[in-house]
Amino acid sequence: MADTANMDRLEAALCDFSGKTSLDQRFRTLFTIKGLAATTDAHMQRAIEIISKAFSDDSALLKHELAYVLGQLEDVRALPTLKAVLANLGEDAMVRHEAAEAMGAISDPSVLDVLNQYKTDSDVSVRETCELAISKIEFDNSPEGKELKQRKKAAKENEEASGKGGVETAFAPIDPAPAMSPAASKEAARSSADAASYDASSVPTFRTTLLNADLSLFERYRAMFALRNVAHGGGEGAVSAVLALAEGLKDTSALFRHEICFVFGELCHPASIPSMLDVLNDSGEHEMVRHEAAEALGGIVEEAGDAEGDGAKGGFDAVMATLTRWAKDDAAPRVVRESCIVALDELAYNNDPTQFHRIEAEPATAASAA
């Protein structure tokens, strides 16, 4: 196991503000640091220090990823940095939004006052994220939320004991809202942490909630992640769940649309390719949404390769051409251009047999922030 002294090398790469270290390499370094943080408390503390230092960079894409990782660490020692990022009105709104969401992921009630303070922020994505984070923290600390957390903990321990867990379980993302239960009854709700209980029969209910603009974003996010769980299960429900999620891309909230793109990046389902290409190619779309679409497309190509079916035939060439187009477009927003560059560089790196792939490093295209 690496000693904390060996993290100095990782710090040098992540905090290379000179531009000599490529952005995709710095992303890999970030997720290597995240993996090491989970091994010991000393590594955790050192990781938070390194990641906090990296906020001095000028790339909003990287800084938003830094905030995401701090939230996923679930350590209250990251809160001072996240509070400072949210309070920095000169920071890119995408980074500030991610800092607020990260506070929700850590879910410590001590940040409620700060989040309430920025519910009236001038940027709508920051306002909406603060509302979501507040709702999540309140839910997590409610009797229902505590019960759900215990069930998930028990399920994780059972998986690890049976050998079915491991790396995937350890790196499961912390969602900004818990998924809706697949059934209304209390007995069915008790098994809601089990992804196998989500199937095609629940898609119409989840879709209705997802598209109901009269409901709170928190409730609609819960439906979003329930549809993701259906899609994770594969089978006949996967395509219908993906198509239901795609309908949400017509919503008026850029934050909502960007989260759908993030979910598509998690799923890496070929059926989402047409909608993600439309998003990335829409110059009028919010750059935060286009960024997530770019990373989702990179993840789809990485996962599926030259697979066919579900509308994928011929789609992968279009994905590569589109990512290349925007990566080379100097007129495109920087965060969009950099997202495409990172996606392409990661694809090249992961398909290069001469490269050594660290097992604790998550692919940037598959583990990107929301």
Q: Enumerate the known binding-site residues.
A: 64-65, 97-98, 258-259, 291-292
Cβ atoms of 47 and 4 closer than 8 Å:
no
Q: For residues 167 and 204, what is the distance between their CA atoms, to the nearest angstrom?
A: 33
Cβ atoms of 112 and 85 closer than 8 Å:
no
Q: For residues 131 and 216, what is the distance between their CA atoms, to the nearest angstrom?
A: 9
* Tokens at 122, concatenated: 């001038």
Q: For residues 255 and 100, what is the distance between their CA atoms, to the nearest angstrom?
A: 13
Phi-psi region of 254 (alpha: psi -120 to 50; beta: other; left: phi over 0): alpha
Q: For residues 223 and 191, what is the distance between their CA atoms, to the nearest angstrom?
A: 16
CA angle at 287 for the pair 286 and 289, rounded to the nearest 5°? 70
* Tokens at 311, concatenated: 């509308």
Binding-site residues from annotation for Fe cation: 64-65, 97-98, 258-259, 291-292
Residue the block writes with tokens 């603009």: 213
